[in-house]
Structure 1
Amino acid sequence: MEIVYQQEQDLTVKDFTELLISSTLGERRPVNEPERIEEMLRHANLTVTARHNGKLVGVSRSLTDWVYATYLSDLAVHIEYQHKGIGKELIRRTKMLAPKSNVILLSAPAAVDYYPKIGMTHHAHAFWLRDLKELK
């Protein structure tokens, strides 16, 4: 099975949404808000895709300054293509495109055990602010 990896800046809302749903990330992403998905894609400045026969089967969508921090905000692999090294390769290619930068991500609960297996370090000092009302 040949998977083609590439940096893409014009990923469509339809392709991205379908991949999120088929990867099980759809339950934690605004897949029913196409305008929001469009903004997510537009503001990402490093998107790496994996395609099989032209079909989008994986994506790494990041925001980066290229030299210090790369926030990998979405790592999604179609459920039928999981456990084939595609996610790891998407992370590797993301890091290759911003080699001086640290790749940082928030894991989905089901993937917490995956990242250490591929060599990523768990960091216990991450924090999350979802809503400004929570700030005291």
Structure 2
Amino acid sequence: MITYQIEESITAAEFIEVLNASTLAERRPINDPERIAQMLQHANLIATARDQGKLIGIARSLTDFGFCTYLSDLAVDERYQKMGIGKALIRLTKNHSPQAKLILLAAPKAIDYYPKIGMAQWEYCYTLEQVDYLR
């Protein structure tokens, strides 16, 4: 039986394990446990899915609970994908910040997923990797 909950914290090892079991590991610093721990420490909304205690899915977000929630990581173990777990984690995240607009950047392999579950695409998103890139 899969259980969903909001958790105050999870370990870096657990997070790395679910990232490796999903397709998200290729875009996260899984070989830098200190950086992973920092990512978890500063997230203020962590929704998880567990199967008999084992972490099988996570939605890691940063939110002000009033205006915006940035869902930074949505990872589901590949063995559990296509079971509605990702959508359930998004729903749990949104329900814990109901006034805030939920925002995410889709991983390349997940671009087709989000419109299928009812999310709208926004074309005006920009990123900045290094401050030296500013002109």
TM-score bucket (shorter structure): over 0.9
Q: Number of paired residues?
A: 135
Q: Is there any run of 5+ residues in structure 1 with no aligned partner, and where?
A: none
Matched, 1:83 2:90: no
CA distance in 2, matches of 1:93, 1:22: 21
Kindly indicate whether the alpha-carbon contact (under 8 Å) linking 2:72 and 2:104 is maintained by their aligned counterparts in 1: yes
Residue 21 of structure 1, CA deviation? 0.9
**What is the DSSP-based 3-state SS (H/G/I as helix, E as strand, rest coil) of the residue aligned with 2:62?**
strand
The percentage of counterpart residues that share the same residue type is 55
CA distance in 1, matches of 2:19, 2:47: 14
Residue 8 of structure 1, CA deviation? 0.7
In the TM superposition, 1:75-114 aligns within 5 A as 75-114=74-113
Residue 10 of structure 1, CA deviation? 1.9
CA distance in 2, matches of 1:124, 1:42: 30
* Corresponding residue of 1:71: 70
Structure 2-normalised TM-score? 0.98
* Corresponding residue of 1:43: 42
* Corresponding residue of 2:60: 61
Matched residue type, 2:21: S
CA distance in 1, matches of 2:73, 2:132: 25
Q: Is there any run of 5+ residues in structure 2 with no aligned partner, and where?
A: none
Residue 132 of structure 1, CA deviation? 1.2
* Corresponding residue of 1:8: 7
CA distance in 1, matches of 2:9, 2:62: 15
**What is the DSSP-based 3-state SS (H/G/I as helix, E as strand, rest coil) of the residue aligned with 1:75?**
strand
CA distance in 1, matches of 2:71, 2:46: 9
**What is the DSSP-based 3-state SS (H/G/I as helix, E as strand, rest coil) of the residue aligned with 1:61?**
strand
CA distance in 1, matches of 2:16, 2:71: 17
* Corresponding residue of 1:25: 24
Kindly indicate whether the alpha-carbon contact (under 8 Å) linking 2:69 and 2:102 is maintained by their aligned counterparts in 1: yes
CA distance in 1, matches of 2:75, 2:130: 25
